[in-house]
Amino acid sequence: MSTEQKDDAQPTIESVEFSQLIPEEMDSQKGGEGMPNLDLILDVTVPVSVELGRANMLIKDILALSQGSIVELEKVAGTPVELLVRGKLLARGEVVVVEERFGLKITAICGPQDRVRNLG
């Protein structure tokens, strides 16, 4: 068995200053208002949906649904519907018909920073 002496001296603790994590050349590529450069993801496809409204139903009522049944939603007709990107609110608008297809006319949109944050 070897005999080692225990070092009872306390280690010296010093504070450390770290340099900026984002290199300056990347910092200059930022978009306006401190938003990151989004050029790398502009052609990525994400799911977009429009939510007309919601309803809570009893299971027995769901099982009783048939062709012609009407499900009442909590929203009143004419109330703005929500445009969701990956399930997160991006904008509100009104339903329109464009060449026999439904569309959405945007009436209110989230701010730029909220839009970027909601994409993540």
How many domains in the chain?
Answer: 1
Owning domain of residue 67: 44-119
Say if strands 81-85 and 48-51 run parallel, antiparallel, or are unpaired.
antiparallel
Q: Is residue 59 part of a domain?
A: yes
- pLDDT score for 82: 92
Q: Is residue 101 part of a domain?
A: yes
- pLDDT score for 114: 74
The tokens of 13 are what? Answer: 């603790």
Q: Is residue 12 part of a domain?
A: no
Q: Is residue 15 part of a domain?
A: no
Interacting residues of 103 by C-beta distance below 8 A, sequence separation 6+: 95, 96, 97
- pLDDT score for 64: 97
Q: Is residue 31 part of a domain?
A: no
Q: What is the CATH number of the domain that holds 57?
A: 2.30.330.10
- pLDDT score for 26: 47
Side chain identity at residue 26, one-letter code: M
Q: Which of 69, 71, 70, 74 is nearest to 53 (CA)?
A: 74
Per-residue pLDDT of the chain (120 residues; tens, 9 = 90+): 555 555 567 778 777 776 665 555 444 445 555 556 778 888 889 899 998 889 999 999 999 999 999 999 988 888 899 999 888 889 999 999 999 999 999 999 988 777 777 666
Q: Is residue 98 part of a domain?
A: yes
Cα–Cα distance list, 19 to 27, 85, 95 (Å): 14, 36, 51
Q: Is residue 91 part of a domain?
A: yes
